[in-house]
Amino acid sequence: MISSSEKDIRSRVVTALEESSIQRLRFIQVEFEDNTICLRGEVGSFYHKQLVQELVRAIDGEVKVRNDVTVDA
């Protein structure tokens, strides 16, 4: 079961992605699995993949992150 703090973190991450100036980041899927934020989707560069991950860390530096975002080269 997802705790209220996990729901809050997920909600904050989703909101930050939706407000991103980089359009493709707005479509990244964010889920909690096994106490880890899981990021899925597709971006256009490795830089954008790293941006997604660092966005999560900026929101909560203690949360585990699994970055399954793929780069469409």
- Can you give the pTM of this predicted structure? 0.87
Please give the C-alpha separations between residue 49 and each of 1, 5, 52, 73, in angstroms, as whole numbers: 28, 25, 5, 12
Ranges of residues in the chain with a pLDDT under 50 are: none
Q: How many domains does the chain have?
A: 1
CATH number of the domain encompassing residue 27: 3.30.1340.30
Q: What is the pLDDT of residue 34?
A: 81
Q: Which amino acid is at 56?
A: V
Residues of the domain holding 67: 4-71
Q: What is the pLDDT of residue 31?
A: 93
Cβ count near 27 (within 10 Å): 12
For residue 12, what are the contacts with CB-CB under 8 A and spacing of at least 6? Answer: 59, 60
